[in-house]
Structure formats: C-alpha cells, structure tokens
Chain A
Amino acid sequence: MRRRSSKDVWEGEVLHRLRAGVASVLLLLVIGAAPACRSRYADLDLSCYSYRDTRRLVQHVYDAARLLQEEGLAGLTQFRERSGRFRTDEFYLYVYRTDGTNLYHAGMPELEGRNLWEVTDKDGKPITQLVLEALRDPNNPHAWVHYSWWEPGSFYPVPKSSCHFEVATPEGEKLFVGGGLDYPHEEREFIRIAVDSAADLLEERGSEALLQIADPISAFNYRDVRVFVFRENGEMLVAPAINSTFSQTNLLECADEVGHRPFAHALGALEASEAVWEIFMARSRYQTRLLRKCLYVRKAAWDDGEAYIAAITDLPQPPY
C-alpha cells in the first residue's frame, strides 16, 4: 500500500477544513435566520386569496391602517419617509377622509388636500364613492374596488384592484387608507364578493336591483367580469356577456369545450347549498391547451321564486 506523502496529508487537511467551514456557514445561516416572531396578522383572514401579491397588499394596507389607528395623523409622517417600510416599488398608499378629501397620496402628492368625491375613471366609475360603498359592504371584508387608473408619471390606463381599511384616529377623524395592485391577479374572491353583494341587493330591492347589477359602472362589473342573473329554467335576466337580453340563450343548455354543462351542474349542486363553484374549459386561440375558468353561482329569493346570480373569472393557472 502506498504511503501518503506530507503534501497529500496537507491537502487532505485543507479539504477537511474547507468542508467543515462550509458546513458551519450553512448551520449559522439556519440558526441566524430564525425569526422569533409571532404573526401580527393573526386576526386578518387571508385564506380566501390565491396569490401572494394580493395577500401582501392586504397586509401592507392593514399595517398602515393600524399605524394610523394608533398614532393618528402623525402617522402620515412615517408614510412620507422615503426609505420607510411603507414605501415599496410594488404598491403605494393613499389616505382619504370619508368625505372624499385626500390627505396623503404616495403616488400623486399633488392630490393632497383636494376633495375627490366626484372623481371617475375612464369608464365613468365613481372611485371614491365605490370605496365608501365597499367599506360598508359586509360581503367585502377588505373593501376591494376595481377600476382603471394610471401609474404615476405614465400616460396609459392600467387595470387596478385596491383594498381599503376604515380607520378612526385618536383625534376623532374618520379616514380610510388604501393601496392597489396594477394589473391585478383575478382572484376568485373578487367574484365571490360581487356575486354575494348582488344577491343581497336583489333580495332587498327586487327587480329594481337588476338595473344596478347590469350598470357597467357599478361594482358588479369590472374588467372582463360581469355579474349576471338567470331563472331556474335558464332564462336570462341580466345577460353574462352583453348589456341586453335581446338574444335569449338557455344557460342550462350551454356546454363548455369538453361538453360539460356548468350551469345545469351548478343548479343541481345548489339544491343542497346556497352557493357553488363550477370549473369549466374555454378555448383561447393563443394557447394549445384549454383554459380553466370558474363560475360562482349563488341563489337568492326573488319574485315568489328563486333567481341565480353568477359571475365568471379565470382560474389561477399553475406556473408551467
């Protein structure tokens, strides 16, 4: 057997130390990274959201609301700090009085001090008024509002979804704080809120509610989402794709790309529950695979019978 030379021994020692060093660094990394904290969002239910982006925005706005609740208007100075935790590249905050007066706007400081109660987006959506409606809606716990806006400094419209929290400051001011996502993900929760709110409205106001549900600038219509209403026999009261029911299609007869009848199936399931989710396949000319979409249907008492309120949105897609 060959005896190891002193060079071999030395190299072996160096290698051994190098390995031990790497192992120690890894161990330190594991131990040093251990956070010893309890979640400050324990009372914030985020389980209804599929995307991290959405959850992070709600947490960010919630943090801002808590700060204002504790420190009052003095908390706005923290929002204004350029390197503070409330300034991120992903989203910005704004604070309004409930009468529509802007107190703080991270993206457009020129709006501060102005009353924006009447401001609308390019489609005519009264944004501030919709925020106040959303804050009063028990179906919308994080007061989501969907509209068109523009990125500060740019000149083209971007779709936006914003969440809001109402705050009563120690000074006695009633404010709301909000923040939004440009090009937001289509969360299933968004159509759940729209459909449940429309169902409550229909039960409360009857036929009068149909006009409001069909109104393109109401909270029931945003981007490609449209809340629609139909009867048990499939007759449409508010059509799912156009602003009129001039062409009646029996929704119960409608089938998806693989022959599945989502409406007929949903009505069967609704015999045992108040609301159901249905998944169906749609074709896109830009994709070889079929797209999965989802339909949320809720039933409501209406006109001595039942009406079905529904909306359709994209289903979150796997990453590949």
Chain B
Amino acid sequence: MAGRRGYGVNELPPATHLLVSSLQHVLLMVTSLVIPILFASQLGGSPEFTAGLIAFSMLAAGVGSVIQSVGLPFIGSGYLCPNVCGPSYFSVSLSAAWIGGVALTRGMTIVAGAVEMALAPLIQRLRRVFPAFIVGLVVAMVGVSILAPAISSFFGLALRDDAIRSADMIIGGVSLLVMVLANLWGRRLAKMYCLLIGTLVGWGLAVILAPEYWHDLAAASDLPMLAVPSLGSSFRGITFDLRMVIPFVVIAVSGSLKSFGNLLAAQGISEPGLKETDFAPIRKGLLADGFSTVLAGLLGGVAVDTSSSNVGLAGATRVTSRWIGVGAGGIFVVLAFFPRLILILSAIPRPVMGASLIFAGSFMVCTGMKQMFSEPWDERKTFVVGISFFFGMSTAFLPGLYARTPRLVQTFFTDPLPTATVVAVLVNQLLGLDRLVSRWRWRQRRRR
C-alpha cells in the first residue's frame, strides 16, 4: 500500500498508478531519442533508416529497463533505473559508422557492452575505495552531469550560441514552477505525477506561445500509426576494427562509472535504511547495463545507458517501485512499433525537457550531498571531496584547457562525473597512506 512515501521499491502499484507512473518515466526517457535521430541525420540516413534506428534503440533500451528493474537472480539491480539512449557513445559511434558503416558501430557497441559486463564483477572488490562520502560525491556528480543539457534545453537552445527566445524562457519557467509546486504543495496524486502535470502544462503553453511546437506535433500525421521495425540493408552485418577498440573501451569505462553513480543513487532512494552500500545489486545492475548495450549492438540500435533523470524523478516523487521501471521498459518496447506516437512524444518542447531535467537533477545533487555529509566529517574528507570537485567541474568550465594536456590526461579528464570519481578515489587512497602505514606497524607489533 502506498504510504506517505508513495510506492516502495518492491511494492506493486495498482494498475492505473502503474500505467500513469510508467508513462511519466517514459516522458523523460523519450528525450534521449534525440541521439538516434541526430546520429541518423549526421550519416545522411533515409527516413526508413532513421525509423529503424530509433525503433531498435527503443527495443534495446526497453528490454534493458525491464531486465534492470525486474531483478533476476544474476542480472538486474531490481531498482527503478531505466535505460535510455546513451549520449556518451554518440561521437565514437559516429566515427565507427563513418569508417565501417552501421555494421562496425554494431560490432564496437557489442565490444563496449562486453567491457561494461566484464567490469561489473570488479565493483564488489571496490568496496574499500568507495566509502559512503565518495558514493555521495558520485551521486551528486550524476546530478551535475546533466546540468549542461538541462540548462541549454530550459532556454530552448538547440545549437551553440544561437538566439534565445523569451517564449522559451516563459515555457521553461512555468513548467518548472508547476512541477515544483505540484511536488511541494500537491496532495498524493499531484505530488506523484508532478512531472507529468508540469510537462502537460508546459507543452500546452508552448503550443500557444510558439507555433513551431505545434508544427512539430502536426508533422506526426505524416507517419504511419503502426509499423514493424525493418532490417534494411544498412543494418546487415556486424564487423569489428582494432583501431576503434581504445575509444570504445574508454567510453565504456566512463559509462560504467556513470551507471555506477546512477545505481548508487537508485539504491540510496530505494533503500534509505541501508547502513552501508550493498554492492550486490550494483554489480547486477552494471551487468544488466552492459547486457543492454550488447543487445543494442546486436539489434542495430545506438548504445544505451542508465538514466540519471529517471532516478532523480523517482526520488522526487518518492515512487520507487521497480515495477514502474518494468512498466516503462515495456511501454518503450511497445512504442517502438508506433512511429506516430514516437514522434508525438519526442516533440516535447525543449524548455519543458529542460525543466524536467532540472527538476530531476536538483534531487540527485541534494541526495548525493546528504549522503556525503551523513557521516562525521574531517579535513581528510574535505580535501578528497574538494580536490575531486575542483578537477571534476574544471572539465566543464575549462574544456579548452584539457585539449592542451597530454593524451593520457585527456583520456581521464573528460566530464565532471568520471573525472571527479577517479580523482576522489585516487586522492582518498593517497591521503589514507598514513593510516595504511600505521595499520601495518600495528600488525608488525602484534606479530612481535
């Protein structure tokens, strides 16, 4: 039964709530469909190619979400942490497509997924290098990592340095205000469906204020309602290329770190009573994430990744039932066969998307900070968190600086989340050397 906390991780909501909550998560998931659309446009793909790529990506993300949330004995975290099309793979996938067509992108996506799966069992061994305050930092950085897409979308910006319209700022502002007020002041249903309510109000306002948003919706009438994803000639074959292994492995490691953060956050909000991190579901979750990426490669979609914003939404609404993840994944799979509905959903105005991401991201940042400061603090932690935060954020503030550093530095200093995580782990180990030495001396004395 739903209490003040909404629905707990193992609670099965009634059918209507399950459906509406799943749809609410789907609204966030469809924002990632911009990745296959952009990918196809950069390759100059035909409308059939684009439709196929979107459909296969949705199938992979949908099946991956189901596996992730349902929590099978060996795979899947059992948390509400759906899969979406992963933006981090975009550039390398495009490079692979230019060298060897979609066949090579598929092959290298499978390699990346296999690397993620291989990394999963190592997580359990990393228990010591991820104390609670570093876990909190990683979760906060997951929220920070969606800052750029959230803010640029909020202002309706599609291209760098382009003009910003007042209408978009109003749409974004009203959407965010409605989401937040519904969450703060709303009673049970309004609180539970605050993102859905904000999205609908913002969408309605956008259609009135900016005619282009209405035109985006009207374009859906040109598409068929039902269509089976077709395996066109572009999707045949799977190939591999040694030259692409390193770029894909680097992105796979970075993707694993991001999913690690997402799963830690999902655990934090789903099982707030846990005294310390339970790494078993995290490991199973990473395995599911890697498996979904392999599946995307096999099917011919773009690589998939866990979604930070959906975890944030679950936290904000306190509806963490894993069955909603299963429902959202199921809806994503079904939607893959309905091109018209896909276009309608992906026509959500950019400022409304931005508002949703800010809404979800705020929760992620604060969840991480709460977790970080939940244990006694000392100077050592100040330096670990402070130094890693400085270097992590610097990749966003000063990207040009890292372009002039040696290649090895560039490999690890890419985005705030992976950079802060790697630096935090290294600095924590370094500053803990004195404790290691004193522990060793103590053991030596005991032996004598």
Contact = CB atoms under 8 A, between A and B. Distances in A.
Interface string B111-147: 0000000000000000000000000000000000000
Interface in A167-199: 185
Interface in B408-424: 410, 414
A287 interface: yes
Contact of B162 (A35, A185, A286): A185
Interface stretch (B262-270, B271-279, B321-329, B396-404): B396-404
Contact of B95 (A35, A281, A284): A281
A39 B215 CA distance: 12
Contacts of A284: 403
A2 B171 CA distance: 43
A282 interface: no
A35 B95 CA distance: 45
Interface residues of A, number: 39
B357 to A, nearest CB: 12
Contacts of B174: 26, 29-30
B217 interface: no
Given A33-B208, A39-B211, A52-B165, A259 B99 contact: yes
B152 A319 contact: yes
B443 interface: no
A1 interface: no
B42 A292 contact: yes
Nearest to B181: A22
A316 B38 CA distance: 12
A279 interface: yes
Given A30-B208, A285-B404, A320-B152, A52 B99 contact: no
A interface, over-half SS: loop
A228 interface: no
Contacts, number: 94
A15 B155 CA distance: 31
A147 interface: no
Interface in A248-279: 256, 258-260, 276-279
A317 B410 CA distance: 21
Contact of A51 (B159, B204, B209, B414): B159
Contacts of B178: 26
A9 interface: no
Interface string B193-206: 00000000100110
B313 to A, nearest CB: 21
B85 to A, nearest CB: 14
B253 interface: no
A115 interface: no
A130 B315 CA distance: 60
B204 to A, nearest CB: 6
B204 A287 contact: no
A317 B158 CA distance: 9
A53 B162 contact: yes
A67 to B, nearest CB: 22
B160 interface: yes
B170 interface: yes
A316 B160 contact: yes
A56 interface: yes
Identify which of B42, B161, B410 gathers the most chain A CB atoms within 10 Å of its CB: B161
Interface of B: 38, 42-44, 91, 95, 98-99, 148-149, 152, 157-163, 165, 170, 174, 177-178, 181, 185, 201, 204-205, 208-209, 211, 243, 399-400, 402-404, 410, 414
Given A26-B201, A319-B148, 18 more contacts: A30-B201, A30-B208, A56-B163, A185-B159, A259-B98, A260-B95, A276-B44, A277-B44, A285-B403, A286-B403, A288-B403, A289-B91, A290-B91, A290-B95, A292-B42, A316-B160, A318-B38, A319-B159
Interface of A: 15, 19, 22, 26, 29-30, 33-35, 39, 50-53, 56, 185, 256, 258-260, 276-281, 284-290, 292, 316-320
14 contacts: A29-B170, A30-B204, A35-B208, A51-B163, A53-B163, A56-B163, A259-B243, A276-B44, A285-B404, A286-B403, A290-B95, A316-B160, A318-B38, A319-B160
Name the 3 nearest CB pairs between A and B, nearest first: A320-B148, A319-B152, A260-B98
